[in-house]
Every structure is written in C-alpha cells, then in structure tokens.
Amino acid sequence: MAPEQVLSGTDAAKIAEVCQKHGITTAEFAQLQARSASAKATAYCPYSRFRVGATLLVDGPAYVDGANVENASYPVGTCAERVAFGTAVVQGHREFRAVAVSTDISPPASPCGMCRQFIREFVNLSIPVFMFDKNQDFVVMTMGELLPMSFGPDRLPPLALRERWVEPGIPSIHSNL
C-alpha cells in the first residue's frame, strides 16, 4: 500500500475540498486542527515524551478533547483517542462526525491498532480521521480505510440469537445489549 498523501494544513482550497468530501465545514476542520494540537499540552507522558492530542466532533456541533496518559507500568497507559472517546461516552455522546489526532512528529502518525478498534466501536466506516503533524499538515482517511474488514457492533448476531446461546439460569453478559 502506498503511503498516504500529506496535505498542507494551510492550503485553503484543498482543505475546503476535503471538508466537502467528508461532510464537515472548514470552521469545524479548523477547530479539529487547533483543539487536537492544543490537547497535546495536557498529555501526561513522562516516559516516552511523545505527546498526542485527540479531538472528536460530535453532534451539536460540539467537541471533546483527550490526551495520552502514560503509566510507569507501560501497558496501563491510555492513548489520547481512547481518553477522548471515554470522556465523550461518559458525557452522553453517541453520534460522532469526525476524529482528529495530533502529534509532534512529521509526517503525521495514525491511531494505533488498539485505538482503531476502540474508535470503530463508536463510529461508522465513513467517518473521517484527520491526522495532523507538528506543522499542522495532515492526512485524512475514513475509518474503513484505517481498519479494513473491521469487526464492530454491526457484525454481532441479532440479540435474539445471542440470547439463545446463554444457558438457562446463567446471566448473560449481553443481557443489556
């Protein structure tokens, strides 16, 4: 697979074209770009020093930010994208229109595999994911492009079928689905 084209974060015509393609306004793009970059300042990353900020565009429109939070026990840390989605879900948001991720490197970094799967739980495959670098240049891909052949809630069998899988008298972990 060829590397994705890095687009200029200051090319107004290209930004307008990308926004139209993905169903957001240029003002919403500017907020995603600025907020995800600002969110990096709140990262807790004393071990890697690799700051990541994330911003979600939710219905409203409104925005939810997140930053990576590391831990001395490395696997316990949480990526910026998962912090943002966790915050959004706790706040009651369920409709997401775009995701933005910002780092201090160039070219832009994409969400890790775990974050891609986590994001997929909450968005459809056409949602754009904007990935900004240290210069605010960016790559944009849909969730479906980032995680092809993904497994999401829509892949689960119907609830009625899942309920038949449970033995009588044994509580189902899916009883609230």
The answer to whether 135 is a known ligand-binding residue is: no
Instruction: Determine contact, residues 137/106, Cβ cutoff 8 Å.
Output: yes
- Of the residues 17, 81, 121, 145, which is catalytic? 81
The answer to whether 45 is a known ligand-binding residue is: no
**Cα dihedral 54, 150, 145, 95 sign:** negative
Tokens of residue 80, six digits: 């910026």
Interstrand relation of 138-142 and 62-67 (parallel, antiparallel or unpaired): unpaired
The answer to whether 121 is a known ligand-binding residue is: no
Beta-carbon count within 10 A of 83 CB: 23
Instruction: Determine contact, residues 108/138, Cβ cutoff 8 Å.
Output: yes
The answer to whether 176 is a known ligand-binding residue is: no
Is residue 81 among the annotated active site residues? yes
Q: CB neighbours of 122 closer than 8 A, spacing ≥ 6? A: 85, 88, 89, 94, 96
Cα within 13 Å of Cα(150), Cβ side:
24
The answer to whether 28 is a known ligand-binding residue is: no
The answer to whether 79 is a known ligand-binding residue is: yes
The answer to whether 74 is a known ligand-binding residue is: yes
The answer to whether 124 is a known ligand-binding residue is: no
The answer to whether 115 is a known ligand-binding residue is: yes
Q: How far apart are CA 141 and CA 144, in angstroms?
A: 8
The answer to whether 69 is a known ligand-binding residue is: yes
Residues known to be catalytic: 81
Binding site, annotated residues for substrate: 68-74
Binding site, annotated residues for Zn(2+): 79, 112, 115
Binding site, annotated residues: 68-74, 79, 112, 115
